[in-house]
Amino acid sequence: MANAAEAPHLYVLPSALADVSRAIVELVERVRPSVVQVRAHGRGVGAGVVWDGGGLIVTNHHVVGDERGPFQVVLADGRSVPGQVVAWHPAADLALMSVPVAGLQAATFGDSGRLRVGQLVFAIGHPWGQPGVVTAGIVSGTGDVPVRWGGRPVELIRSDVRLAPGNSGGPLIDAEGRVTGINSMIFGGDLSVAIPSNLVQRWLDGLRARDRAA
């Protein structure tokens, strides 16, 4: 039997835990200004992520449906402004909204293709109408669902972050504060699933290319 001196040293210095805790707090404080609340008449409350400081916000299609609004969007500073749906993609559960406000803090989108199972992630949203709630977990897997987009199945990020009604449309962020997915609760038969940021970016880039060509 190994004595105490030979046993593996598993003690974590309290100062190291405090450093981790402070880093998470700073990460959340950095991202929260880019998370909004979307209030849709007759459809409850969802979340959204500021994609462009000029007033463009990404959310889930199922949060807004096929309606153009207006909806009420509550910004991180508490202001409530009208929001209009300007594009949507039901198959990918994505929608793009516009609000008449400039100078918003846009989120930083990361590369979802670099996510690995076991990686730490966080969700920010408004479960049951409670604003700005943060939950944490790890990536538990990725996989396709039987919804096809562009001839290919949609791939989702699965994690064990806790989601509830009101989280839909909010960000799944990595340990560096980059948005790696848009949380959705209707795909895959799981509760904690997110649409990968690379898919979101591909759709948004396509919208920009279409607008330039118009």
- What does 58-101 look like in DSSP terms, one character per residue? EE-HHHHTT----EEEE-TTS-EEEEEEEEEEGGGTEEEEE-S-
Q: What is the model's pLDDT at position 1? A: 47
Question: Model-level pTM?
Answer: 0.86
**Does residue 201 belong to any structural domain of this protein?**
yes
CATH of the domain at 142: 2.40.10.10
- Reply yes or no on whether 211 is catalytic: no
In a domain, 175, yes or no: yes
pLDDT at residue 211, rounded to an integer: 72
Query: Exactly one of 112, 168, 184, 197 is catalytic; which is it?
Result: 168
H-state helical runs in 141-196: none
Residue of 34, 61, 89, 93 marked catalytic: 93
Spell out, as residue ranges, where the chain has pLDDT lower than 70.
1-13, 42-43, 68, 144-152, 186-191, 212-214
- Kindly state whether residue 9 falls inside one of the protein's structural domains: no
**Residue 170, domain member (yes or no):** yes
Residue at 177 is within a domain? yes
Within a domain: 12: no
- Domain interval for residue 196: 112-207
Query: What integer pLDDT is reported at residue 156 of this predicted model?
Result: 87
Taking the C-alpha atoms of residue 40 and residue 22, their distance in angstroms, rounded to an integer, is: 35
Residue 131 falls inside a structural domain: yes
Q: How many domains does one find in the chain?
A: 1
